[in-house]
Copies of this chain bind each other. A is one copy, B any other.
Amino acid sequence: MPGPIQKDHLHLGAILFPGIDQADFTTPYEVLASVPNSTFHVLGREKTPVQDTHGLILTPEIPLAEAPQLDLLLVPGGAGVNALMEDEVVLAFVRRQAAGAKVIFSVCTGALVLGAAGLLKGRKATTHWASHHLLSSFGARPVNARVVVDGNVVTAAGVTSGLDGALRVVALLRGETAGQMIQLYTQYAPEPPFNCGTPESAAPELVRAVQSHLREVLEARRAIVKRVVAKPGW
């Protein structure tokens, strides 16, 4: 298959953490682990298994300290992002990788980790609709779009947008044919049963119900973002 950098072996990776929303990781993984001539590294702060927001057990294979320089780093989201935004080990890792990676790719509220690491300053970015208002605190230029590409930073909106984002990333790394082949293999010709995938298209009471469900996480999140950007030198 043709592609911009087809010949180089690519090192791709993602960070797992407690309270991850597993689909923010597993959906792009499905796409990215199929990239020809590449290795996917499943990373964790330690190698200890973690549980996602619903309890699914996921097992990192390489601790952050042993990860190679990656060509692509995926940062998923989830309620556990709250702790990650103040985890200096993870933030330092993300900054270090960003300096050498071709692409830093966040899905859902993973964008807030990029924000806390200072990577979104002056950049266009998106995140899950319920946390979108927090992007500007990190100096980002919030864009109401499903996938936003700004330099080497690619941000995708809530959960399922990781699929659209990952296919775009494959096209960036390996050319459109590589992305198309994965889209065909994964039979991605979506037929959502309802027309309510965004707060703009959903009924107001549905939006309020989801916001109410997320209230506790969102309130804690707002306080954390405030603390992060108040740190000296941020």
Contacts and interface: CB of A to CB of B under 8 A. Distances in A.
Interface of A: 1, 21-23, 26-27, 29-30, 33-34, 40, 42, 49, 54-59, 61, 108, 128-129, 146-147, 157-161, 163-164, 167-168, 171, 176-177, 179-181, 183-194, 196-199, 201-203, 206-207, 209-210, 213-214
Contacts of A129: 187
A29 B54 CA distance: 9
A167 B194 contact: yes
A185 B159 contact: yes
A190 B147 CA distance: 11
Contact of A168 (B147, B163, B179, B193): B193
A210 B193 contact: no
A27 B23 contact: yes
Given A56-B33, A56-B42, A189 B192 contact: yes
Contacts of A209: 1, 181
A201 to B, nearest CB: 7
A35 to B, nearest CB: 10
24 contacts: A23-B30, A26-B56, A30-B159, A40-B55, A42-B56, A57-B58, A57-B59, A146-B191, A147-B191, A158-B185, A161-B187, A163-B190, A176-B194, A179-B194, A180-B196, A180-B202, A181-B206, A183-B192, A183-B194, A183-B196, A184-B207, A185-B210, A185-B214, A187-B198
